[in-house]
Amino acid sequence: MRGRPKSVETPPVIAPPWVPFEDRRRARDEKRDAVLRMAVKMFLTEGYHRTTLNEVAARLNITKPALYNYFRSKDEILVECYRIGQETYEANIEGIERQGGSGLAKVRALIRAYVRAITTDFGMCVTRLDDRELSTEARASVRRAKRSYDTAFRTRIEEGMADGSIMPCDPKLAAFAIAGSLNWIGHWYEPGGELSAETIGEEFAIRLTGGLAAK
Amino acid sequence: MRGRPKSVETPPVIAPPWVPFEDRRRARDEKRDAVLRMAVKMFLTEGYHRTTLNEVAARLNITKPALYNYFRSKDEILVECYRIGQETYEANIEGIERQGGSGLAKVRALIRAYVRAITTDFGMCVTRLDDRELSTEARASVRRAKRSYDTAFRTRIEEGMADGSIMPCDPKLAAFAIAGSLNWIGHWYEPGGELSAETIGEEFAIRLTGGLAAK
Amino acid sequence: MRGRPKSVETPPVIAPPWVPFEDRRRARDEKRDAVLRMAVKMFLTEGYHRTTLNEVAARLNITKPALYNYFRSKDEILVECYRIGQETYEANIEGIERQGGSGLAKVRALIRAYVRAITTDFGMCVTRLDDRELSTEARASVRRAKRSYDTAFRTRIEEGMADGSIMPCDPKLAAFAIAGSLNWIGHWYEPGGELSAETIGEEFAIRLTGGLAAK
Amino acid sequence: MRGRPKSVETPPVIAPPWVPFEDRRRARDEKRDAVLRMAVKMFLTEGYHRTTLNEVAARLNITKPALYNYFRSKDEILVECYRIGQETYEANIEGIERQGGSGLAKVRALIRAYVRAITTDFGMCVTRLDDRELSTEARASVRRAKRSYDTAFRTRIEEGMADGSIMPCDPKLAAFAIAGSLNWIGHWYEPGGELSAETIGEEFAIRLTGGLAAK
DNA sequence: TATGAATGAGCTTTCATTCAT
DNA sequence: AATGAATGAAAGCTCATTCAT
């Protein structure tokens, strides 16, 4: 888990030595990724402020200034973490829009998707790290994204209330309740623990809608 | 604007110089409280790290070293905030143990109590601030308290499953789901906004147990 | 010349202990001045970049962060040096405008005034330090001031050409020639050396106008 | 835009692989010169410290380490700039020694020569850049050269005073005044501007000696 | 009790320089 | 001959904390 983590993913077979350029670029990207993965992990376990670039670098067996080959500032590292996190959410949510079904079914699908996202490091960082560290623009972007997730839930709930699959309720509070349960996962989920992301997703899809579902 | 700020609040008229000892202590305690109230507010809006003691002091129209009359360190201020927060929870939860009723009724009562606590500044700080800032012992104490809240929910849920007021479910996950919804309130609640703490409490007591309640 | 330079100026006699506030403020201002004087000296002898705040502080027998009690940044120290330097020029030049006499006489008076200014540390810093270190606004201000000195010379030369005290010539180039000679003083003048500022002023007033004066 | 930038300048067609050795060396020298010319320009416009090797390299479409093929250090680049600058002065001054004429004529010739030198980038760098950046020996060499220019002026002035072409004056101050005017040119001269180096030379040869010339 | 001043420890960032390829 | 990557050494700045008054 420390140092060169990407070595696992590079093809274990003999890499042809005559693709040095491609190689270099890949190596660079892999290292950049390694930095990000290490950074997000440390940001999550230690907190952004208490994580010094020195420590990040040390854990990667490089020195602090080397990080500046891949990122312009500590801030930029954080922004990248958020960006990847947002992508994770969007990648998981994407398909749901198109898929049919009742409002309730969609809410459940959203919950499962959200759980999948929040149980990854980058996904978790979006909800657990303090977005006040970000620059004004970056923060604005992140907040917009967060609001859009909330809106997605709210809209589906209203849809469900319209099609009769969801009992009448205040969609705003209902969405807040669901979002809270989901975001909180980031505080107790342990990767590799006895509760898998799938299990949590299934359980929460039922549990959090049990009170919404029309009888 | 510089120096002498407190003179405004002390009676401008000739205060008897033999001011009783009791009075002195009260004044001192009031100032200490003022510091705490200002600090917790700023910790919540700015974050602990980004809140400098200089700013806290400035907002109170005193100077930084003056804070050290009331607290030994920034850390201690934080610890105190947590302590008061914990007290708030306990004060709200206290009566519930003794009151009778089904497991479901107790869970609902817990939810209402929890909402009352988390909508105060000090209560909010317990769940929103990062307890990794605390010293090892303080953190241990806080974590113990948090766990006890979780246990309270879990126990009541199990109680409810036993007495038939709550449908069979995984009490651990159910408690997590509820805790998440409740803790999340700290991220969107606005004191003086259109949703009062009471309203939220009532609504959540129903909403969060809708899926738990046996039909 | 190192450390507490102001001690010379504070009255050596018993300072009354009951003016603590005034005292404090004076002490503060004196220290601020001491920082500036030390800084400008080091900027001149070492160059701005090669002068570290650590060294400035060390020479004043304080530590680096203490400097931040008096200035917000290294930059601000530089700006202050320039500001005082400009004041020095203006204070010396001021009277000349009002005093009568031929254009030539005024040019000579300007030369003497300029020499008086440039032979002080702060005056010297305006022409010898690199104003590209300054922020855009500060630089603009400094350049404006410099241009105004140049204009002063040019205008007086034209005046002299009009009143016949100065022989016909290109006022722009003539002003440049004079400015160069004067600014260059900062590169060879040694305070306390055998050439006093007065002597240089007198000599240059003659020398630099010898070629301008109408026969 | 990345890598291989120089390929544009080397003949794109199949260059005979037995490229004569001479050619290689010439190419190398040309590149070295290109570096120097770019460096001196940037040193002058940005200042030595604010000019990073990265930027120098970038403007030449090469990378930073490539510079180290031609120079051992940033310092050495600066030293070379000074060396070329000195050569420029000496090349311009050279003939004057042998040419006859009065002391005054020689001073005027020196002025013209000096202007020719200082209006080149390398010549300008000798007087405008800060020689405290140089190593002790390099600085010593530069200072020696500068002093020799000063001595040249002083000697010619004394010569002129002896042969009656120059009126009695303090040769040291007179030389300083002239040197200042000349060195200052580096601060306002614009290559390609309306004042050509020739014009300035002619004008200054007259202007700066107008006050020296015996009537 | 309160203040101005000072400090130590620590952080991010920059940059000339080196090295394996 | 040239590159990408890495490094060491430093610098400016911040801030909780202490101390003399």
In single-letter form, the type of residue at position D64 comes to: K
Q: Taking CB atoms and an 8 Å cutoff, what residues of chain B touch A206?
A: 211
State whether residue C211 sits within 8 Å of chain D by CB.
yes
Chain-centre distance for alpha carbon A15: 32
Mean pLDDT value across residues B103-131: 96
The pLDDT assigned to D21 comes to: 65
Contact C160, C107 (CB under 8 A): yes
Asked if residue B181 lies in contact with residue B152, where contact means CB atoms within 8 angstroms, the answer is no
Residues of C in contact with D49 (CB under 8 A): 49
Is C149 an 8 Å CB contact of chain D? no
- Cβ neighbours of residue A185 closer than 8 Å, sequence gap 6 or more: A115, A118, A119, A200, A204, B176, B180
Q: How confident is the model at residue A5 (pLDDT cuts 50, 70, 90)?
A: very low
Q: Give the tens place of pLDDT for each residue, C115-134.
A: 999 999 999 999 999 999 99
Mean pLDDT calculated for residue range C34-40: 97
Residue nearest F17 (alpha carbon to C1'): B73
- Residue A81's pLDDT is 97
Q: Given this model, what pLDDT does residue B132 score?
A: 94
Is the Cβ of D181 closer than 8 Å to some Cβ of chain C? yes
Convert D150-159 to b/e letters by CB count within 10 Å (16 or more is b): bebbbbbbeb
Using a CB-CB cut-off of 8 Å, the residues of chain B touching A187 are 180, 183
Nucleotide nearest to D28 (CA to C1'): F1
Positions 50-89 in C, CB within 7 angstroms of strand E: 57, 62-66, 68-69
How many CB atoms neighbour CB C50 within 10 A?
A: 14
Domain positions in chain C are: 5-67, 82-210
pLDDT recorded at residue A12: 38
A68 touches strand E (CB under 7 A): yes
Q: Is A50 within 8 Å of B185 when comparing Cβ atoms?
A: no
CATH numeric code, B83-210: 1.10.357.10
What does the pLDDT read at residue C25? Answer: 74
Report the percent of chain D where pLDDT is more than 90: 74
When mean pLDDT is compared across A129-133, A157-161, B93-97, D143-147, the lowest value belongs to: B93-97
> Strand, coil or helix: what is B215?
coil
Which chains are within 8 Å of D by 3+ CB pairs? C
Given a cut of 90, is residue A156 above it in pLDDT?
A: yes
CATH for the stretch A5-67: 1.10.10.60
* Chains touching C (3+ CB pairs < 8 Å): D
DSSP 3-state assignment of C121? helix
Does strand E come within 7 Å of the CB of B146? no
* Interface contact flag, A180 B184, Cβ < 8 Å: yes
Alpha helix positions (H), chain C:
20-46, 53-59, 64-67, 74-98, 103-118, 121-128, 136-163, 171-188, 197-210
Q: For residues C214 and C210, give the distance between their C-alpha atoms in angstroms, rounded to a whole number.
A: 9
Rounded Cα gap, residues A140 and A133, in angstroms: 12
Look up the protein residue whose alpha carbon has the minimum distance to the C1' of E9: C65
Between CA C37 and C1' E13 the distance (Å) reads: 29
Euclidean distance between CA atoms A125 and A107, whole angstroms: 23
- Provide the residue count of chain D: 215
Does B1 contact strand E, using a CB cutoff of 7 Å? no
Q: Which residue do the tokens 């469900």 mark?
A: A160
Q: Are D169 and D210 in contact (CB under 8 A)?
A: no
Phi, then psi, of B166 in degrees rounded to 5: -125, 135
Of D47, D130, D184, the CB nearest to C132: D47
CA distance D84 to D90: 10
CA–CA separation, B18 vs C46, rounded Å? 62
For B150-206, what is each residue's pLDDT tens digit? 999 999 999 999 999 998 889 999 999 999 999 999 999 999 999 999 999 999 999
Helix locations, chain A, DSSP H = 20-46, 53-59, 64-67, 74-98, 103-118, 121-128, 136-163, 171-188, 197-210
Separation of A56 CA and F9 C1' (Å): 20
- The residue-averaged pLDDT of C2-8 equals 32
Chain D contact for C176 (CB, 8 A cutoff): yes
D173/C49 touch (CB, cutoff 8 Å), yes or no: no
With 50 as the cut, is the pLDDT of residue D133 above it?
yes
Work out the angle between the directed axes of helices A197-210 and A103-118 (0-180°, nearest 10). 140
**pLDDT given at position C15:** 43
Output the pLDDT for position D112. 96
Residues B119-148: what's their mean pLDDT? 94
DSSP annotation of B131 reads G
Q: From 1.10.10.60, 1.10.10.10, 3.30.70.890, 1.10.260.40, which CATH number describes the B20-67 domain? A: 1.10.10.60
C57: amino acid identity, one letter: A
Reduced 3-state DSSP string for C132-151: HHCCHHHHHHHHHHHHHHHH
**Using 50, 70 and 90 to split pLDDT, how confident is the model at A117?**
very high
Q: Is-contact B180 A183, C-beta < 8 A?
A: yes
Number of other residues whose CB lies within 10 A of the CB of residue A145: 18
Q: Which CATH class is domain D74-210?
A: mainly alpha
- Chain A residues within an 8 Å CB radius of B204: 173, 177
For residue range D141-199, list pLDDT tens digits in order: 999 999 999 999 999 999 999 999 998 889 999 999 999 999 999 999 999 999 999 99
| Residues 49-68 of B, Cβ under 7 A from nucleic strand E | 62-66, 68
Chains A, B: CB pairs < 8 Å: 89
Beta bridge partners of C55: none
- In this structure, which amino acid lies at residue A179? A
Beta bridge partners of D213: D166
Contacts of B45 (CB under 8 A, 6+ apart): none
Percent of chain C with pLDDT over 70: 87
Q: Using the predicted structure, report yes or no on whether residue A48 has a pLDDT greater than 90.
A: yes
D65 Cβ contacts chain F strand, under 7 Å: yes
**Residue A187 vs residues A94, A115, A167: alpha-carbon distances, Å:** 25, 13, 30
B212 vs A209: CB contact, 8 Å cut-off?
Answer: no
pLDDT of D215 over the 60 cut: no
**Listed residue (B183, B159, B169) closest to A202, CA to CA:** B169
Task: Look at the block and give the residue holding tokens 């400015």.
Answer: C179
pLDDT tens-digit profile of D13-40?
A: 555 555 566 677 778 889 999 999 999 9
Q: How far is the CA of A40 from the C1' of E10 (A)?
A: 22
One CATH from 3.30.300.130, 1.20.1580.10, 1.25.40.20, 1.10.10.60 for D18-67: 1.10.10.60
The share of chain D scoring above pLDDT 70, in percent, equals: 87
Q: What is the pLDDT of residues B27-69, one digit of tens each?
A: 888 999 999 999 999 999 999 999 999 999 999 999 999 999 9
Nearest nucleotide over every DNA/RNA strand to the B64 CA, judged by C1':
E3
Distance A27 CA to E20 C1' (A): 15
CATH number given to A81-210: 1.10.357.10
A177 contacts in chain B (CB < 8 Å)? 181, 184, 204, 207-208
Q: What is the per-residue pLDDT for A75?
A: 96
Q: What average pLDDT does the segment D41-46 reach?
A: 96
D198 and C CB contact within 8 Å: no
Say which CATH superfamily domain C82-210 falls into: Tetracycline Repressor, domain 2 (1.10.357.10)
User: Is the confidence at residue A17, as pLDDT, over 50?
Assistant: no
Residue D43 above 80 pLDDT? yes
- Mean pLDDT of the C68-85 span: 97
pLDDT at residue number B11: 39
Q: What's the gap between Cα C37 and its chain centre?
A: 12
Instruction: Summarize the confidence of residues A133-145 as an average pLDDT.
Output: 94
Number of Cβ within 10 Å of residue B168's Cβ equals: 8
Q: For residue C14, is pLDDT > 50?
A: no
Q: Which position has the token pair 């609902």? A: B108
Tell whether C198 lies on the interface with D, counting CB pairs under 8 A.
no
The predicted pLDDT at position D83 comes to 96
The yes-or-no verdict on residue D116 having pLDDT over 80 is: yes
- Buried-exposed string B22-46: b where 16+ CB fall within 10 A, e elsewhere: eeeeeeeeebbeebbebbbbbbbee
Q: Which nucleotide is nearest to A52 (CA to C1')?
A: E11
